[in-house]
Structure 1
Amino acid sequence: MRSLTVLGSCGAWPEPGRACAGFLLEYDGFKLVLDLGYAALPQLLKYCPDGGVDAVIVTHQHPDHCVDVSALARVRYYVTPDAPPIPLYSPPGVLDVFRALEPRPDPATVFDVHDLADTTVGPFRLETALLPHYVTNLGVRLSTPELTVAYTGDSGPGPEAAALAAGADLFICDATLQGPSPDTTPRYVMTATEAATAAAGASKLLLTHFWPGSDRSISLAEATQAFDGEVIAAEEGLVVSLEGGRGGSC
């Protein structure tokens, strides 16, 4: 099975019945979590009971992207204490957040902690890109010979996001805002139109990180006007098929 499951699609805080950033990427039995923000763990446990995942990537230290990794640590520590540590890849500062939330057990005993940098994670070649945000945020590209998935975490508009998306089969992109681009500099989150513009080199665009209360149909319509490929609005429980790489359907 090759698929991406949306665990959470909200930015900042979760709307009722939703969760903040989180995705489960499955590739031939390997289960990789991309971010795990507020309320995303219960969604993950629907698919991976007892937190049985093979690796976790966290793009940055904001709680709407990482706080439920601490909850995952509790599940692993209390439910499967003999399980090996989960490889965790994150930028500087993320581990400090986890230790502030729960110092005992030390997160470094539940996770096998690595800097988020270019490397190999299971079947994937991992490449990272520093994207404009309020804190260090590393977008990621995960590639196999058949497939490339790129994910911004959070990002302002600019050439960095477009470079991350280039050639990707699926581009998962921050689309926090709606309407015209705000006239502010610097910018640390994107509109749906800016996300679509950044996605020009990708085959398929998955909009995510919607501001709570937003009408997602508006974001979808705005992005569709600026992107020639398929555009999808993230929804909790949505499964995007990645079978066969380019051209897979949801």
Structure 2
Amino acid sequence: MRTTVLGGLGAFPTAHQACAGFLVEHDGFRLLIDPGYATLQPLLALTRAEHVDAVYVSHGHPDHCADLQPLVRARVLANRSGPPLPVYAPTGSLAGLLAIDEPGLLEPGYRLTGFTPGETLRLGPYEVRTFALPHWVPNAGARFSAAGLVLAYTGDTGPSPALVELARDADLLIAEATYPDDIPQRHAGNLSSAVEVGRYAAEAGVRRLLLTHLWPGTEPREALAAVRRGFAGPVEVAAPGLTVTVGR
């Protein structure tokens, strides 16, 4: 199972990096997780738009889903007879995004499956167990299991006992760590710090950790120093083009 980072920032992209987004490849299946702002261009450097097999969206904030719209546009306008793109997202979370284009243009290009966080899905080769995690809007952390391997992803979340269950024995945990240590009061309960991630990753027995959704301008070394106060295993910060492979 190979995960390629398209971007690793929260809130908004910069001149050098997109928001958080990941291309996960396993057994010939290409899964796009959270196509946030500016993730389409690095995605298209890796594969063609029509070669994406499915999209999983954790929640409806645009730094996690905005580039779904141009991805579907690229598929529809390049090949109107191509198959619709399967998209999985919390029910209602993409309504505004998918309504911004002219009526009828994009509808043939995607097949939207809405779900309630907490449900279990079947997505290509993956069994996907979703978790309702605290955020300003419904957020579905997910545990992708295939061939004895587990990729866990938090989306955006505040503290929750469910995070340990989500991450238990994961081969790779991709975790939101917007701040290295102290979380501003305005974001308390809805976002995470690298210090918090280190603690629950250690408790869960995570084998490898990838920090994402850093606030633009945050130094990666600060996030790494903070997470290592609680987690002793392999850890990296999401950077464009970084590839993490687990299993054979």
Length-normalised TM-score, structure 2: 0.93
Map of 1:58 onto structure 2: 57
- Larger mean CA deviation between 61-70 and 199-208 belongs to 199-208
Cα deviation for residue 104 of structure 1 reads 3.1
Partners of 2:219 and 2:225 in 1: CA distance: 10
Change (3 A) 1:108 1:176: same
Contact kept in structure 1, 2:134 and 2:158, CA below 8 Å: yes
Cα deviation for residue 184 of structure 1 reads 7.0
Map of 1:248 onto structure 2: none
Map of 2:17 onto structure 1: 18
Amino acid at match of 1:79: A
Change (3 A) 1:216 1:93: same
Contact kept in structure 2, 1:175 and 1:195, CA below 8 Å: yes
Q: Deviations over 1:102-138 (max 9, x none)?
A: 2433544211111244121111101100000000000
- Larger mean CA deviation between 197-206 and 185-194 belongs to 185-194
Q: Deviations over 1:224-249 (max 9, x none)?
A: 121121111100110001233xxxxx
- Total equivalences in the alignment: 243
Change (3 A) 1:184 1:96: closer
Cα deviation for residue 179 of structure 1 reads 2.3
Partners of 2:170 and 2:105 in 1: CA distance: 36
Map of 2:131 onto structure 1: 129
Specify which of 159, 178, 203 is matched with residue 207 of structure 2: 203
Gaps spanning 5+ residues in structure 1: where?
245-250
Contact kept in structure 1, 2:92 and 2:114, CA below 8 Å: no
Map of 2:71 onto structure 1: 72
Gaps spanning 5+ residues in structure 2: where?
none
Change (3 A) 1:106 1:113: farther
Map of 2:193 onto structure 1: 191
Map of 2:220 onto structure 1: 216
Length-normalised TM-score, structure 1: 0.92
Percent identity among equivalent residues? 40
Cα deviation for residue 81 of structure 1 reads 1.6
Contact kept in structure 2, 1:59 and 1:65, CA below 8 Å: yes
